[in-house]
Amino acid sequence: MSIFKQNILGSGQWSDWRWQQKNAVRDEMALRTACGGWTEEVTAHIEHNLQGRKMQITPYYIDLIMSSLESNQVTEHPLWRQVVPYWNENVLNDYDGVSENWELHHEMKTPICQHKYDNRVILRMTNTCNAYCQFCFEALRTLQVGTEKANANTDSFADSIDYIRNTPAIEEVILSGGDPLMLADRKLEEHLAALRSISDDLLIRLHSRALSFNPFRVTDELVAMLEKYKVNAFGVHVCHPLELSSDFAAAVKRIRGAVPIVFANTPLLRGVNDDEETLHSLFIDLYRLGVKPYYLYHFMPFSPGASEYKASIGDAIAIMSRLKRRVSNIALPEYVLPHARGKFTVPLLNFEQPDELPRFELHNGQRYYSFQGWDGQRCTWHDA
C-alpha cells in the first residue's frame, strides 16, 4: 500500500466509485503533492497544456502509480505518462486540435449516433470519463475544454433509437463515449431498456475504461443491469499490465458472470507499452483473467501528444510477429491501423498475401506507409 493511499484511507470510502470521482486530481499542484514532484520544466508543460485540456486522475489510479514506482522518476512511469499532459505542446508534429481521427460528419445520423460500418452504430453516451487518457483519439469530444461535441440528451437519444429501429441493416449497437459507465445507474438503465425494446436479437456492446481507472464502478446493481438487458459483450480498455490489479480482476470476474464475451482493446503507445515483454505480459495476464485481447490499436495521429506517444509501425509488426510464436493465438490481438474511414488489420511477417502488407516509402527523410483500407481505398500513414 502506498503512503498516498494510507493518508486518505481514513475516509472509509475508498471503494465507493462516486467518492473516487469526486476526489480525482484535476490540477498540477494537487498531482505534484500526490506524486512527489518533478522539474519546473515539466510543471510548466502541464500547466500550459491544461489551459485547453482536461486532466482527471482518480485516487485509485494514483495509488497504482505510487505503489509500483521503482525509482524517484515518476515522470517515467508508464501509467503516469498516460494521464498527465507532460510534453512540450509547441513541438507537436501532427495534432492540430481540429482534425478528426474517427468521426466523419456524414456518419453522424444524430448528434450522438455514428454509423460508419454497415451493420453497427456507435452511440456516444457522454463526453466525460473516469480519468482522461491524454492520447485519446476522440480528443475533440473528451479532452478539449468547452468541446462542441454534443452529449446525449432526451431528444438525441430518442432520435437515435428511431434511426436504429428503422434501419434493418443495423445488427449491433456499441455504447461508447467518453465512458458510458460515467452515467448514473438510473440513466444507463433507461438507455439499455430502450435498446433492448427494439429487438431481442439486437447485439448490445459496451466499451469502458472504468476497470482501469475506477473498478469500483462495477457494482452489484450494474452487474444485474447488464444481465437483465442481455448485454452481449463488454470491451475493457487497458494499456499496461500494472493496471491488472486485484480490484481490476475482481471487476472482470463480476462482469463475466453477467456478460458472455469480455474483450480488451489496447492502444500502442511509445514509452508505455511498445516493447515485446510488456505486451506479452499484458496479453497473457488478460487471457488468464478470461479477457480476450481483441485489438492492438496503433496510435491515431490527430491526438494530443502525437510526438510523444507515436510508436513505429515497423517495430510493432516485428514485435507482434515474435509474439505470435510466443503466446497462444487466443491471447494475441489483431494489430490494426485505425483511420477515419475504418481499420486496417496489419499482416504480420509470416504473411501469405504480400500485396496486402503495408508498403513504405521515404519522402524528405520521413517514412510513410501505404495500405488498402477496409473500403478498398488506399490510405497513407506517416510513421514514427
Task: Mark whether 264 and 340 lie in a shared domain.
Answer: yes
Sheet hosting strand 378-382, strand order edge to edge:
359-363, 366-372, 378-382
Instruction: Say if residue 226 is in the same domain as residue 347.
Output: yes
| Bridge partners of residue 292, in order along the sequence | 263
Residue 192 in domain: yes
Pair (54, 154) in one structural domain: no
pLDDT in tens, 235-259: 999 999 999 999 999 999 999 999 9
Residue 222: all three cell numbers together: 450494474
The verdict on 234 and 345 lying in the same domain is yes
What is the average pLDDT across 17-40?
Answer: 95
Count of alpha carbons within 13 Å of 88, Cβ hemisphere only? 4
Same domain? For 87 and 138 the reply is no
Indicate the residue among 67, 91, 115 that finishes a domain: 91
- Tell me: do 135 and 49 sit in the same domain: no
Domain span including residue 191 = 105-382
Tell me whether residue 242 is exposed, middle or buried, using C-beta atoms within 10 angstroms of its C-beta: 0 to 12, 13 to 18, 19 or more: middle
Same domain, 38 and 175: no
One domain for residues 225 and 248: yes
The least confident of 35-49, 201-215, 267-281, 346-360 is 346-360
Record the pTM: 0.91
Structure confidence by residue, pLDDT tens digits, 76-115: 999 999 999 999 877 665 678 888 888 888 999 999 999 9
Question: Which three cell numbers mark 269?
Answer: 503507445
In this prediction, residue 120 has a pLDDT band, given cuts at 50, 70 and 90, of very high
Task: Write down the pLDDT at residue 352.
Answer: 43
CA atoms of 350 and 315, how far apart (whole Å): 15
Sheet holding 233-237, edge to edge: 113-114, 120-124, 172-176, 203-208, 233-237, 261-268, 292-298, 334-339, 342-345
- The DSSP code sequence of 295-317 is EEEEPPSSSTTHHHH---HHHHH
At residue 323, does pLDDT exceed 60? yes
Q: Same domain, yes or no, for 44 and 157?
A: no
Q: With 50 as the cut, is the pLDDT of residue 354 above it?
A: no
- Whether 349 maps to a domain, the answer reads yes
Virtual torsion, Cα 130, 133, 139, 141, nearest 10 deg:
-10
At residue 98, the pLDDT reads 85
Specify if 99 maps to a domain.
Answer: no
Look at residue 100 and tell me if it is in a domain.
no
Residue 66 and residue 146 in one domain: no
Residues 175 and 34 in one domain: no
User: Of 42, 60, 91, at which residue does a domain stop?
Assistant: 91
Number of domains in the chain: 2
